[in-house]
Structure 1
Amino acid sequence: MNTRHYLTSALIATALLSGCKKDGETAAVIPEVPENTAFVTRLFEYVPAPGQFINLGSGRMESAQSILKKEGIVSLGAWGGYIVLGFDHTVINRKDLPDILVKGNAQSNFAEPGVVWVMKDENKNGQPDDIWYEIAGSEFGKAGYIRNYEVTYTKPTPVNGDVSWKDNKGNTGLIEANTFHSQSYFPDWISGAEYTLKGTLLPSSNINMMNPAFVTSLPFAFGYADNIAGGDQIDIAKAIDKDGKNISLTGIDFIKIQTGIQANMKSVGELSTELTSVTDLSLIK
């Protein structure tokens, strides 16, 4: 619910008693209504894939909470790792304008694109239990783009060893441990010996590892998180349904962001989407 446009009888009564803002000509009482927060304010899920920052620094539950109501930093790990966040109001789909700003730590020659999903609170229960719609970015439908992709990660032995994975296309690989981060890369709070993540796989065509000393991962044109230096402007009008057809949304209440590329970049480690903030562009002054 957008508190900017909803005036309850209780607020009006309070305004009459307190004598807050008045219109000089009509003397009509204009109640003061709490401002909505530009930043996301609620964390519903944080399920990262294994990665070199998981279980320390930016890869903990406390890190996920760090981007609520302010800037912080959280890592989503390798492909499929995700976070589900909510606003304290409905973000309106503005005509011919971007609606959400997602900031990460992307650089001009090193992006770690994440897929963005949005949801409207159709049943009005304040929970992200309706339908997720993918934001169709610039790579939608291109070679290497795969929907309904799945990866299963297995807890290693020893726990700080390489993490093996297999996907639903018959491929296997490793999230390799490195000398810079010696902790377990498998999330400590995940119970069981393995877990499966599902979503959309993005092409890895932007990655160049010809020079091991200077690995690059160039940004895509638009529509992803942790993709463009300075932040990515997301347009709700780009939302698509499960069949890839455009869906018209008046606004959204929840957002999910998920690492989109499965890539072992050797000395650099796995590609992992990072976030520093998620905000409603209409509330940024």
Structure 2
Amino acid sequence: MEPRSRPPSLVVDPSLPAAVSSVLRSSPEILRSVRLGDIPSAPGPDPVKVFSAAALLGLAWALTSLTGMLLLLAVAGVLTGMRRLTADPAARQARRRMRVALDHSHRFVLPEDLDADCGALLRRAQDAAETVLGSQVNRAGLLDAIDNAVTLPDQVWQTATKLARLSAMRAEHRRIVPAAPPPEVAEAFAPYSGALERAADSLAGRVRALEEYAAQVSRADAVYRSYRQLELLAERTPQYEDLLAETAGDELAVPRLEEMTGQARRIRELFLESMAEARRAAGHLTGTGTA
């Protein structure tokens, strides 16, 4: 499947604690239930059990005394606690995940929250962020213009939340505005449609800036690999010098060695230039770049 045709993945607010984020990411079906409002209500007390307990307490009061009734209450409390401790752990875990999802329902964006156009934009943003974070130059700590591990997830999150809002407003707009309003009133709807279009264009520009950064990083990555390969060869320069000295005269060996040195220098300059381009793209992405 082509990257652009893949649906976007779940986005969770990166500022959440790791424990909460882990629960949300591991429970996509529960998140969908929360988003759709399909939340099972907590079971109420069983009337038969309530009546039986009241009758039992009344009988204990009649047959014994207040002390006997209190003792019976204590036994019932212990039995209830033991029942909860031995309850199905899977059910307890599901209830816990549901509670976490309910408490943080505004801290995640599902693919279903987006229309087709917004989903495609989010997928592009996620692909670009993954390209940068997976690059060799990033793992080597060479992209020091921004902290990618912090900035890029936040960029994707901010983009996802804005795309979700745009999707919701576009859906509402389609419900309110007739598909073909009368010509004499069509102009009245234009500012609202225009606002949605401008918002979409702005978000598309934000994604393009992220993609440009990823493209610059990919180019820097390719040059970095060549640079590292030349570093390995440079360590073996004496062996090449000996080989040329043994197999060719100085009039051939010296120019060849100078050519090797010059090529290594050009690759290094190209690498440094590509890194500078990537840093400039990062600055534009975060609004700190120079014109």
TM-score bucket (shorter structure): under 0.3
Report the structure number with the largest CA radius of gyration: 2
> Which structure is higher in RCO with an 8 Å CA cutoff and minimum separation 6?
1
Higher helix share: 2
Higher strand share: 1
**TM value normalised by structure 2:** 0.19
TM-score by length of 1: 0.20
